[in-house]
Structure 1
């Protein structure tokens, strides 16, 4: 057998194994809105948008009459801004709602939770009866490392076990972040903070 033939066989085996493993893990949930549950990114569980790339966390100029501590979500940009004051904000990359699940309005952060548990709402279970009825917090939970709850809605700003989906319109209305970023935001945000969602 030639070296080229051996190389082709090895590559085919790797691709086939990856495809099977990926197919087995494709199971959707409310928070991911279609992203597979429980897979790890090639960057590891936590992932990071803090280094480089289109969703890198960064300090930016942010003019406007917003009180420090306000969160402004720009759905079209797929960016979240935490206002620090003096015309400045911290910009984070986020995943947003897919078609039919985007929304706008003003709410307040009503609760904050570390490694939140997840219970799919009834309407999601009607659409997806294969989903678990409840998941404890942890690395496989689609809400990720932190969650900030918005008003009395089912919407949250939360982490993700699918960091590669950040910057995409894939959720069921929640705003997802890589875990490194949601932990950073969580440590800055107070319960009662205003959240302005621009759709």
Structure 2
């Protein structure tokens, strides 16, 4: 663990730690889970630069890309497909920007219709009561930074004006993209969540579906 942290300091100039996961990392076609091997630089940002992931380490289908989209949701909507591990930002003329995501482990993923109630830049993090119940030794609060489980950006989902404790956020575990291993939220590469953050306003409708349905 100390060696991994020192390697990251040398690469990025700051410590980097993983967010909370439900299982051991399962990277795509990579024999080692050494964090430092996943990063090739950084993107300028404030107050911290965003670690830039080596996409060659990942399954190419999880690359951010524009795709054909046949769903009925209105342009500007976010659609998360838990089963496919994709997030779609619906665009006009039957297109969508598609991002690879990591999702909650079995029994933890939420589905339904919500909206972006607020947005956070390098947000602070606190575990939910459920997370503490599963892992009592979790820290109760973590300041914004490279070691924060929410990463560079977070979209906080609300229903009827209330926070439902479900987030779309960055991650410092790039190998978790495409996996079912989080405590329930949708995680994205930090550079991807920064891109999404800039594209969507507060109030954006978010559809999260499993088994092809987002109706509870």
Q: Shared topology, TM-score over 0.5?
A: yes
Number of aligned residue pairs: 174
Confirm or deny that 1:197 pairs with 2:204: no
Unpaired stretches in structure 1, ≥5 consecutive residues? 1-17
2:167 alignment partner, one of 143, 151, 156: 156
Structure number having the greater strand percentage: 2
Structure 1 consecutive aligned stretches of length 4 or more whose deviation exceeds 3 Å: 27-30, 32-36, 48-52
Instruction: Give the superposition deviation at 1:145.
Output: 0.4
Confirm or deny that 1:47 pairs with 2:53: yes
1:75 alignment partner, one of 77, 82, 89: 82
Cα deviation, 1:130-188, whole Å, max 9, x if unaligned, reads 11110011111111100001112111000001111111001111000000100000000
| TM-score normalised by length of structure 1 | 0.79
Instruction: Give the superposition deviation at 1:121.
Output: 1.8
The answer to whether the 8 Å contact 2:19/2:173 transfers is: no
CA distance in 1 between partners of 2:140 and 2:84 (Å): 33
1:92 alignment partner, one of 87, 99, 102: 99
The answer to whether the 8 Å contact 2:19/2:171 transfers is: no
The answer to whether the 8 Å contact 1:108/1:150 transfers is: yes
The answer to whether the 8 Å contact 2:117/2:156 transfers is: yes
Instruction: Give the superposition deviation at 1:123.
Output: 2.6
- Residue 28 and residue 47 in structure 1: after superposition, are their counterparts in 2 closer, same or farther (change >3 A)? closer
- Residue 72 and residue 41 in structure 1: after superposition, are their counterparts in 2 closer, same or farther (change >3 A)? farther
Larger radius of gyration: 1
Confirm or deny that 1:147 pairs with 2:154: yes
Aligned pairs (5 A) from 1:65-144? 65-144=72-151
Unpaired stretches in structure 2, ≥5 consecutive residues? 5-16, 26-33, 40-50, 211-216
- Residue 112 and residue 43 in structure 1: after superposition, are their counterparts in 2 closer, same or farther (change >3 A)? same
